[in-house]
Amino acid sequence: MSTATHTTSADHGHSPFLQHHFRDMDQQFNTAKIGMWLFLVTEILMFGGLFIGYGIMHASHPQAFLAAHHHLDRTMGAINTIVLLFSSFTMVMAIWAAQTSRKGLVILFLVITLLCAATFMGVKYSEYSHKFHEGLLPGKYYTHEGDTVPGQFLFFSFYFMMTGLHGIHVLLGMVVISWLIFRAVRGDFGPDYYGPLDVTGLYWHLVDLIWIYLFPLMYLIS
């Protein structure tokens, strides 16, 4: 017959961040990671739908897409690519700083990440307002004059859908990173507890990755 087994978990009662339904911090950390990975899969699939739609429309209107993409500013796009890549790096450094108990550095790296994100949005803002000004808008709001190839609005339909959705993800990331900064200042993170930094990092890398696909697809068509 059975005997009851006592497992008194070593971590139990030690970390104030252990939620009641987990046995120990490891289990909690790994669960959070699985959750984030699954969420990222859904994100990739969602953007995947847009990428496929873009591919199909590009294939059926190649001249319009080629002509339209000249209206995008490659320099701006390139700057934003570098900014995002760098912010992914500082995000990783923030996790490293937490693992090695450097509270000041955690805050510093998170703030740099946040500033990069803000820079990205600033550049996007100036790109968008320029496009708005020239009437380079999606669908029926497209009023740009002097086009030689018809149907260029289709390109901008996708441009705004895809960069817009991506931008929303950057904004969401900024909200989460600000919250992390708040918690870092409070002193929540250390070698025993850095899960939230880690999963936010995963999210942030995905936002970066999607941009890395968007940039050549939209700005560098040939």
Partner 1 sequence: MADTLTTHGNGHAAHHGDYLDDPKGLASWLTTVDHKRIGLMYMWSVFFFFLVGGIFALLVRIELLTPKQTIMTAEMYNRVFTLHGAIMVFLVIIPAIPAALGNFALPLLLGAKDVAFPKLNLASLYVYWTGALMAVTTLALGGVDTGWTFYTPYSSTTGGGVTLMVLAAFVLGFSSIFTGVNFIATIHKLRAPGMGWFEMPLFCWGMYSTALIQILATPVLAITLLLLCMERVLSIGIFDPQLGGDPVLFQHFFWFYSHPAVYIMILPAFAVISEVIPTFSKKTIFGYKAIAFSSVAIALLGFLVWAHHMFTAGMSLFAGAIFSFITFFIAIPSAIKVFNWIATMWRGSISLEAPMLHAISFLLIFTIGGLTGLFLAALSTDVHLHDTYFVVSHFHYVMAGSNLIAFLAGIHYWWPKMFGRMYNKRLAAIGAALVFLGFNATFLPQFVLGSRGMPRRYYNYLPEFQSLHVASTIGSWILASGLFLIGAYLLASLRQPKSMVANPWGGRTLEWETDSPPTTHNFEGQPVLQHGPYDYRANPAPVGVEEHIH
**Does 1 interact with partner 1 (rule: CB under 8 A)?**
yes
d(CA 178, CA 184): 10
Query: Which one of the spans 50-58, 71-79, 128-136, 175-183 is the region binding partner 1 (CB under 8 A)?
Result: 50-58
Query: Which one of the spans 83-91, 105-113, 133-141, 207-215 is the region binding partner 1 (CB under 8 A)?
Result: 133-141
**Does 53 interact with partner 1 (rule: CB under 8 A)?**
yes
For residue 34 the two structure tokens come to: 């699985």
Residue pair 197/66 in contact (Cβ under 8 Å)? The answer is no
**Does 133 interact with partner 1 (rule: CB under 8 A)?**
no
- Phi, psi for residue 193 in degrees, rounded to 5: -150, 100
- Residue ranges of the alpha helices (H) in 135-151? none
Closest approach, Cβ 49 to partner 1, in A, equals: 4
Closest approach, Cβ 85 to partner 1, in A, equals: 25
User: Between residues 103 and 144, which has the closer beta carbon with respect to partner 1?
Assistant: 144
d(CA 145, CA 191): 59
**Does 59 interact with partner 1 (rule: CB under 8 A)?**
no
- The alpha carbon dihedral of 188, 191, 192, 193 has a sign of positive
- The alpha carbon dihedral of 145, 150, 152, 153 has a sign of positive
Closest CA to 184 of 113, 88, 89, 122: 113
**Does 30 interact with partner 1 (rule: CB under 8 A)?**
yes
What number of chain residues touch partner 1 (CB under 8 A)?
A: 45
- The residue to which tokens 């294939």 are assigned: 59
**Which string of b and e fits 113-138 if b means at least 16 CB within 10 Å?**
bbebbebbbebbeebbeebeeeebbb
- The residue to which tokens 């059926």 are assigned: 60
Query: Which one of the spans 26-34, 72-80, 108-116, 171-179 is the region binding partner 1 (CB under 8 A)?
Result: 26-34
Residue span 148-187 as binding mask against partner 1, x where in contact by CB under 8 A, dash where not? ---x-xx--x---x--------------------------
User: Between residues 22 and 89, which has the closer beta carbon with respect to partner 1?
Assistant: 22
Q: Which residues bind partner 1 (CB under 8 A)?
A: 1-9, 12, 19-23, 27, 30-31, 34-35, 38-39, 41-43, 45-50, 53, 56-57, 60-61, 138-141, 151, 153-154, 157, 161
